[in-house]
Chains A and B, each alone.
Chain A
Amino acid sequence: MARLNEANAVLAKEIIGRYPRPRSATIPLLHLAQQQDGYVTDEAIKHIGELVGATSAEVLGTATFYEMFKFEPVGKYLVNICGTMSCALLGADELMHHAEHKLGIKAGSTTADGLFTLEHAECQAACTEAPCLQVNYRYRYRVTPADLDKLIDDLSRGRLDGEIPPHGTVARVRQHIPSDRAVGAVAPEAVTGAPEWTPPSPEAKK
């Protein structure tokens, strides 16, 4: 499957409907495509362009700016080891070396069985829990080499399937705005006046 499938196309329309301008949904839809296929395909880029009213080049231009989007298959588990200052002060380099050794690959590559991709990451907002890493954007704190070995073994045996979805899925819960409660997005140029609850402007008071 490469274009968004039927269910995801419905979801895409719901997401687009929340924004005053459809193009604002570009990044959420790229995530949706990556959730579907594990990475962002050319066909998905084209489909997203059709949905939000942009050219494929424009969607691709946006997509390539952001590090989370992958344009070729990556491992089922993306292991991001933080190497920024707080983690570096507490052994991030050693942890990375250990991970490279354990997985038998260099950072930036994928294991032959397609299970793991290892990456250098930058600060993950867990600096007090250094050194830390994320697997498919789920945190592991104060990771020792032994913890890392156990993590890799657990993932390989599917023991963490309930907690860590395959690469592509970030949040497993989505926002849904019930139609009877929604205010509804309005194109900015269609808004003519102040919201109902705001006080009358000084000019109007005169």
Chain B
Amino acid sequence: MSGTIYPHAVGFVAGDRPRIVTDRFQYHDAHTMERFLATDGYKGLRAALAKSPTEVHDEVKGATVLGRGGAGFAAGVKWGLTPQGVWPRYLVVNGDESEPGTYKDRLLMELDPHQLIEGCLIACYAAGLSQCFLYVRGEMALAQERIATALNEAYAAGYVGKNILGSNFSVDIVLHWGAGAYVVGEETALIESLEGNRGMPRQKPPFFPAAIGLYGKPTIVNNVETLANLPWLMRNGVEAYTAIGTATSPGTRMVAVSGHVKRPGVYEIINGTTTFRDLLYGDEFCGGIRDDNQLKAFVPGGGSAPWFLPDQLDLPFENKLVSAAGSMLGSGAIIVMDDTTDIPAAALTLTRFYAHESCGKCVPCREGGTWLERIMRRIVDGHGTERDLDQLLEVGEMICPGAFPHAASERLGLGAVPFPYKMTTICFVGPSAYAPVHSALTLFRDEFEAKLVRRNLIPVTVGAGDDPH
């Protein structure tokens, strides 16, 4: 391990689990061209170029490589959604990683940039994408430096650019970087930003980027981890890939576990079969809750996800099962709260985040997010009233009408409301401001009530017409 840069995030090399995307992390020089070439580097590209683009595309479809950016949509299917005969087509790589709790794409970019470049090339070859823009989050200086260095080396060695490895496959990969705005991670906002505009999401439907994207042309937006899977897949084949995990969730995925566990870290786990309990308590993973405290709750899929309780620990990392249980796997980020956690205060940190990151295009998100933050702040500061709790739910109803997903709780005698929700906003930022509020209030209402101003403390001598509030 490169001890100085990653003193703690060593989880990914522990144990003998399959390592599809993190295998090179065991070398301190994994980011160099030498190490990459000495460890099967660019062999996946060679394997792909030996086949027709259609064959490569079919393999990616056959392997069901699920998107790792949040929605979990199969990459091979997405590539097939570009309209026939419309050119050019672009690849935009989403390296904007900023969902609270999420920490994996940055590691892939910093530690193994050539693997990502190789994945981009395979995608371009298969889907006929003639230029690739690698959009890295603005605040990630080291990731930008590592990718720039890797691209310079790869161009010089003939892996990127004109007539790659002497073939008729030619593609430029352009390193592009942002300047700090969470919502730009949303794929249509990413495209707006790449066109030089404010990063505000576009209304969709009617047009998804695969049909009308960058400069109005068909554009595939894929997450960094999604693309990083492709070199291994090309080298080892569909059968080897689908032998790991389950039929609906094959392969592995990277998961960051943060908060109150003994060994927070980034782990590459087996899709579909590893459970939350394995991950939080397993000796080869997080090793239990800090100080041997009790687990109170956890966020299972990034800050946007409704919360889970110890009741849900035995669920595996499988999209459908987690949706049915009232949340989502999202971006592979688990935030753990032990029994010392002040729940309303914890929820406020997320609501503040989404309220702050609203782009302002939709009223329910712009106004509702701010309202939620203010009311939560008032409650946490000890000035809230019973009326504030109702108001939180009323604001939530404006952003997400109808039943909002939540977990089942034996303690509260609650059944699960499955994911997803209805929403009145263009993108998920508005609902994400509400999700932590709704989870906290539904599962831990007593903690909110304990913070409210006691009505019986209001002096009984208030004169007529005086408003006690």
Contact = CB atoms under 8 A, between A and B. Distances in A.
Given A178-B156, A185-B172, A198-B128, A171 B84 contact: no
Interface string A35-76: 000000000000000001010000001100111110000000
B103 A195 contact: no
Interface in B85-107: 85, 87-88, 97-103, 105-106
Contact of A89 (B152, B155, B346): B346
Interface stretch (B350-358, B412-420, B449-457): B350-358
Interface in A7-56: 18-21, 23-28, 30-31, 52, 54
A31 B180 CA distance: 12
A47 to B, nearest CB: 15
A125 B333 CA distance: 10
A83 B349 contact: yes
A146 interface: no
A65 B350 contact: no
B299 interface: yes
Contact of B87 (A137, A184, A191): A191
A141 B8 contact: yes
Interface residues of A, number: 74
B443 interface: no
Interface string B184-227: 00000000011111111000000000000001110000000000
B145 A171 contact: yes
Interface of A: 18-21, 23-28, 30-31, 52, 54, 61-62, 65-69, 80, 83-86, 88-90, 122-130, 134, 136-139, 141-142, 170-178, 180-186, 188, 191-199, 201-203
30 contacts: A21-B195, A24-B195, A24-B196, A27-B176, A27-B178, A28-B176, A31-B138, A62-B196, A84-B100, A85-B259, A86-B100, A88-B345, A89-B259, A90-B260, A122-B100, A125-B105, A127-B333, A128-B8, A128-B9, A130-B258, A136-B141, A141-B7, A170-B141, A171-B144, A181-B155, A183-B131, A191-B88, A192-B87, A194-B87, A199-B52
Interface of B: 7-9, 11, 52-54, 84-85, 87-88, 97-103, 105-106, 125, 128, 130-131, 137-142, 144-145, 147-149, 151-152, 155-156, 158, 160-162, 167-172, 174-182, 193-200, 215-217, 256-260, 264-266, 299, 303, 333, 335, 337, 341, 345-346, 349-350, 353, 356-357, 359
